[in-house]
Amino acid sequence: MDPFREYQDYVMAYRLRQALDFYPGKLYPLGEYATLRLRRSELVRKLVGRQGDPALLSRIEQITDEINYGFWSNPGILKAFLKRLTPLQYPVLTSPEAFETLLTRSEQLRLARPGLAGAYYIGWLRLPCLLEEPLIFEQARLKQERLADELGLFLDEFHKVAGSG
């Protein structure tokens, strides 16, 4: 996966969790996120090489939680997340446009069309309930890939002008 897309997905998972008041954790700047992501990969390599121990697995899980790794793309993680939500109606999840209230105005303006980011991220939330229908699930995954290609990188972090902070 593109590391910038991965970071964008991390930020959107953080913003969603924050909007739902659901343990958002810390929002890491891109450099800190990259450091944690590289550390996680290093620990996974050690674990696979059987150089690790249970403490190593625990640290991998801790970093995974900190960086929301796999939040959008892992149906099991999404299913567990959705299961923990109370049955209240969350306005941010009612439509793609409502979801996009999590974006800044400048991020919204970078989208190819209104609702694109919302459709992409809400689409991931619908996948866990499709696991029992392999063909429908695969079609939904392919749709997600097409939306990802169209979405591009929209975070303000990626569009700062040199010297602007």
Cα distance between residue 78 and residue 84, in whole Å = 10
Q: Where are the domains of the chain?
A: 73-159
Token pair for 57: 């697995």
Asked if 72 and 117 count as a contact pair (C-beta separation under 8 A), the reply is no
Average pLDDT over residues 132-137: 94
The pLDDT, as a whole number, for residue 82 is 85
Average pLDDT over residues 63-87: 84
Cα distance between residue 125 and residue 71, in whole Å = 10
Average pLDDT over residues 29-41: 95
> How sure is the predictor about 67, in pLDDT bands with cuts at 50, 70 and 90?
very high
Q: Is residue 51 scored above 70 in pLDDT?
A: no
**pTM for the complete prediction?**
0.88
Token pair for 59: 């640290």
> To the nearest whole number, what is the mean pLDDT of the chain?
89
Cα distance between residue 77 and residue 84, in whole Å = 11
Cα distance between residue 6 and residue 33, in whole Å = 10
The pLDDT, as a whole number, for residue 140 is 95
Average pLDDT over residues 40-54: 83
